[in-house]
Homo-oligomer: A and B are copies of this chain.
Amino acid sequence: MATIISGKQVSEEIRDQLKAKIQSEKVDPLLTIVQVGNREDSNVYIRMKIKFAEGCGVKTDHLRLDRTIKEDELIKVIDSLNKSSNVHGIIVQLPFDSEHPIDTNKICNLVSPLKDVDGLSDLNAGKLLHGQVDGQSCFLPCTPNGCLQLIRKTGRKIEGARAVVLGRSKIVGSPMAQLLIWNHATVTILHSKSQNIPDICREADILVVAIGRAGYVKKDWVKPGAVVIDCGINAIPDATKKSGQRLVGDVEANVAEVAAFMTPVPGGVGPLTVAMLISNTVDSAIRFKNQS
* Residues of A participating in the B interface, judged by any CB pair closer than 8 Å: 121-131, 159-160, 162, 168, 170, 174-175, 177-178, 181-182, 184, 186-191, 193-195, 200
Could you say which of A131, A182, A186 has the most chain B C-beta atoms within 10 Å of its C-beta?
Answer: A186
A170 lies within 8 A of B130 (CB): yes
Chain B residues with Cβ under 8 A from A186's Cβ? 188-191, 193-195, 200
17 A–B pairs (Cβ distance < 8 Å), ordered by A: A122-B123, A122-B127, A125-B127, A125-B129, A128-B129, A129-B175, A131-B174, A159-B193, A162-B195, A168-B181, A168-B182, A181-B189, A181-B191, A184-B193, A186-B188, A186-B190, A186-B191
Bound together, the chains give a CA A129 to CA B168 distance in angstroms of 9
B194 lies within 8 A of A160 (CB): yes
| Identical chains in the assembly | 2
B122 lies within 8 A of A126 (CB): yes
Among the listed B130, B170, B181, B193, which residue makes an inter-chain contact with A122, where contact means beta carbons less than 8 Å apart? B130
How far in angstroms is the closest Cβ of chain B from A288? 21
Bound together, the chains give a CA A170 to CA B178 distance in angstroms of 12
Bound together, the chains give a CA A160 to CA B192 distance in angstroms of 9
Bound together, the chains give a CA A233 to CA B129 distance in angstroms of 24
Residue of B nearest to A175 (CB): B129
A187 lies within 8 A of B184 (CB): no
Could you say which of A122, A123, A124, A187 has the most chain B C-beta atoms within 10 Å of its C-beta?
Answer: A122
Q: Which 3 A-B pairs have the closest CB atoms?
A: A126-B126, A125-B126, A122-B126
Chain B residues with Cβ under 8 A from A127's Cβ? 122, 125-126
B160 lies within 8 A of A193 (CB): yes
Chain B residues with Cβ under 8 A from A177's Cβ? 189
Residue of B nearest to A161 (CB): B195
Residue of B nearest to A159 (CB): B193
Bound together, the chains give a CA A220 to CA B52 distance in angstroms of 54
Bound together, the chains give a CA A205 to CA B225 distance in angstroms of 29
Chain B residues with Cβ under 8 A from A178's Cβ? 129
Bound together, the chains give a CA A279 to CA B222 distance in angstroms of 45
Could you say which of A123, A126, A184, A200 has the most chain B C-beta atoms within 10 Å of its C-beta?
Answer: A126
Among the listed B123, B131, B191, B195, which residue makes an inter-chain contact with A168, where contact means beta carbons less than 8 Å apart? B131
